[in-house]
Structure 1
Amino acid sequence: MKNKPPYAIDSVDHALHLATMLQEGPLGVSEAAARLGVSRSTAHRLLAMLVYRDFAEQGPDRRYRAGPVLRPADPVGAPVALLREVAMPHLRALVARVRETVNLQVLAGTEARFLASVECDQILRVGDRAGRVLPAHLASGGKALLAALPAAELTRRYAGTDVNLTRLRRELGLIRRRGFAINDQLTETGLTAVGVAIPWPGADEPAAAVSVALPSARFDHDVLPTWVGALSATATAIARDLGDG
């Protein structure tokens, strides 16, 4: 039998309870408030935080549903604990070099999952994305990873989805030729990201991807080669350490 901890944190308990309710079906703010026994404003704040962390998403009808984190996840082929441990020093070094936020992503089915983020120190910056889940065909790191998949595997993953596979194949072909991918406000207005794949030593497919994310107002095509060069060097260094490990 489970007993409530003596020093329970009510806000955490409410958020976790709300997450389990979302797995049962859609919820409106008033319904969530009534079931939790809190005010509508409190329920709205809790739901907004769950949306921010991808535990929930809001539909056109203004009701909330289980988000990507709560839905059954496709397996991640890469050893995430090892990737995070090996990559973190290199991510910090990359932030110091480019002065923008950087992310480590892996591919899970048709989703890009953010394993780690290191924020830059600029006042206007992209925040921590660790734990977030985005459609792989829109995220820069996700696109870089999709570009490395065999054609048959790409077809298998996107069969039956609403993604235009012909158009996606064309874009991935361009990414393979130039060696990097760009997400120009496809996942969030005002955010642009550049990503490259991290090779997995001795394997045909990459282990993960590293990306630089910045406010679109600071994106500069003239600086793009510098960012790509820094990303590629970081990806190579991470792959080297993975091989050494």
Structure 2
Amino acid sequence: MPDLLQEGIGFSVVKNRPAYAITSVDSALLLASLLQQEGAMRVTDVAARLGVSVSTAHRLLGMLVYRDFAEQLPDRRYAPGPVLRRGAQQQASVTTLREVALPHLRRLVDAVGETANAMVLAGSDVRFVATVECDQILRVGDRTGRTLPAHLSSGGKAVLATLDDAQLAASFEPLDAATAARLDRELRTIRRRGFAVNDQETEAGLTAVGVAVPPAGGFTGAALSLAAPSARYSRGRLPVWASALAEAAGAIARDLSEGPSGEGKT
């Protein structure tokens, strides 16, 4: 079962990993997502983020350039190409969020002992922009670059609970009447208690708790989550998790307000 643990326990009920995954294709698609989310990257940065050699990173970038998913800048960095620029969102802000959030995610993992994530709302989905894995053998894996339906994920629901009725309309539109009614009731509960729970709604065997990051530094729609194997989760852990998440979210908001010089402060 090592492959299962590497990717995160269970199989997604929303989007299954192919039985015969093609590693090079997966790496290229993840790289395209990173370029779209975070903007220009150096070859060495790409190699580090994907966990591949510099030569492999160079070949992946070369193929993305060939297909217009990337382009090389005069300073030799690689930026999103014409295809990705059609849907590029908040590149500078997402990069800043990731850089600011990472130290706080590490502290969350140290304090709670489970995997921590940062994500942003992207239409009716949330996109994971940073993950810090815990060191337990059975753990939730790295979600960076992936998306989940906002109305099912803990961080997505936490962000949706901060929106007004007009902003929520787009997220409710694709849902059937029963699902929309259930979500509306759940959002009222989330607003009251300040956190959201995803108990195996997106992946069998996975439970997550999420909170919204307060708007700061011109950035909105961000959230944090702690994710664990459901077998290790209990309602008794909720107060500790919710408190730790709220503290981290507040610290990230303060750092975003202060700008780059405030990164990592608590």
Considering the TM-score relative to the shorter chain, is it more than 0.5?
yes
Cα-to-partner distance string for 1:2-45 (whole Å, 9 max, x where unaligned): xxxxxxxxxxxxxxxxxxxxxxxxxxx9xxxxxxxxxxx9xx33
Question: TM-score, normalised to structure 1's length?
Answer: 0.69
d(CA) in 2 for partners of 1:48 and 1:191? Answer: 27
Higher fraction of helix: 2
| Aligned-partner SS, 1:236 | helix
Q: Superposed, which structure 2 residues align to 1:80-99 within 5 Å?
A: 80-99=94-113
Name the amino acid aligned to 1:230: A
Name the counterpart of 2:67.
none
Partner-residue secondary structure (3-state), 2:235: coil
Cα distance in 1, alignment partners of residues 226 and 114 from structure 2:
6
Structure 1 residue 45 and structure 2 residue 21: aligned?
A: yes
Query: Structure 1: which amino acid aligns with 2:21?
Result: R
Identity %: 54
1:12-27 matched pairs, under 5 angstroms: none
1:155 Cα deviation from its structure 2 partner: 1.3
Judge conservation of contact 1:54–1:133 (CA < 8 Å) in 2: no
Matching residue within 181, 197, 201 for 2:212: 197
How big is each residue's C-alpha offset from its partner over 1:75-125, in whole Å with a ceiling of 9 and x where there is no partner?
459810110011111111111000100000100000010000000001110
Is residue 217–residue 258 contact of structure 2 (8 Å, CA) maintained in 1? no
> In 2, Cα distance between the equivalents of 1:119 and 1:181?
20
Note the alpha carbon deviations across 1:137-176, whole angstroms, 9 max, x for none.
0000000011111111111333244473222111111101
1:185 is aligned to 200
User: Are positions 1:165 and 2:180 aligned together?
Assistant: yes
- Structure 2 SS opposite 1:148: coil
Equivalent position to 1:105, from 119, 131, 156 = 119
Structure-2 separation of matches of 1:206 and 1:167: 25
Distance 2:91 2:162 in 1: 14
Q: Partner of 2:211: helix, strand, or coil?
A: strand
Q: Structure 1 residues 160, 229: CA separation in 2 closer, same or farther (over 3 Å shift)?
A: closer
Q: Which range is displaced more, 128-137 or 153-162?
A: 153-162
Structure of higher CA gyration radius: 1
What CA RMSD, in Å, does the superposition of the two structures yield over aligned residues? 3.0
Change (3 A) 1:165 1:86: same
Runs (4 or more) in structure 1 with deviation over 6 Å come to: none
Q: What residue number does 1:219 align with?
A: 233
Q: Where does residue 234 of structure 1 map in the other structure?
A: 248
Q: Distance in 2 between matches of 1:162 and 1:50?
A: 32
After the TM superposition, which residues 104-123 of structure 1 pair with which residues of structure 2 at under 5 Å, given as runs? 104-123=118-137
Instruction: Name the counterpart of 1:6.
Output: none
Secondary structure at the residue paired with 1:130? coil
TM-score normalized by the length of structure 2 = 0.64
